[in-house]
Amino acid sequence: MLKFHITHKTIYTYELEATESYSRLKISPLETLCQNINSHSIELKPDVPVFSHRDYFDNLVYEFSLPFRHKHLEIIAKSEVTTFQTSKEPLKSEIKIREAANWFQEFSLEFYDYLAPSGFVYFSEEVVKLSKRIFDPNRKLVEAIMDLNEIFTKEFKYKSGATNINTTIDEAIKKRVGVCQDFSHIMIAVLRANGIASRYVSGYIESYNASADTEMVGFEQSHAWVDVYIPYYSWLGIDPTNHMLSSEQHVRVAVGRDFEDVSPVRGTFKGAGRQFLRVEVQVRRMELDTKKLQEVEKAK
272 and 193, same structural domain? no
CATH of the domain at 44: 2.60.40.2250
Question: Residue 148, CB half-sphere, CA atoms under 13 Å: how many?
Answer: 32
Give me the mean pLDDT over the 41-48 stretch.
96
256 and 268, same structural domain? no
Structural domain range at position 200 = 89-261
277 and 223, same structural domain? no
Its pTM stands at 0.92
Contact 297, 1 (CB under 8 A): no
280 and 251, same structural domain? no
**Range of lowest pLDDT (99-103, 162-166, 193-197, 262-266):** 162-166
267 and 256, same structural domain? no
Give me the mean pLDDT over the 30-55 stretch.
95
267 and 249, same structural domain? no
pLDDT tens figures, 138-147: 999 999 999 9
Q: What is the DSSP letter of 290?
A: H
292 and 232, same structural domain? no
* Alpha-carbon span 135 to 237, nearest angstrom: 19
246 and 163, same structural domain? yes
pLDDT tens figures, 186-197: 999 999 999 999
**Range of lowest pLDDT (185-194, 207-216, 251-260):** 207-216
Number of domains present in the structure of the chain: 2
185 and 111, same structural domain? yes
* Alpha-carbon span 276 to 197, nearest angstrom: 37
pLDDT band at 160 (very low <50, low <70, confident <90, very high): confident
241 and 113, same structural domain? yes
Contact 35, 83 (CB under 8 A): yes
227 CB-near residues (< 8 Å, 6+ apart): 198, 199, 201, 235, 236, 237, 238, 246, 255
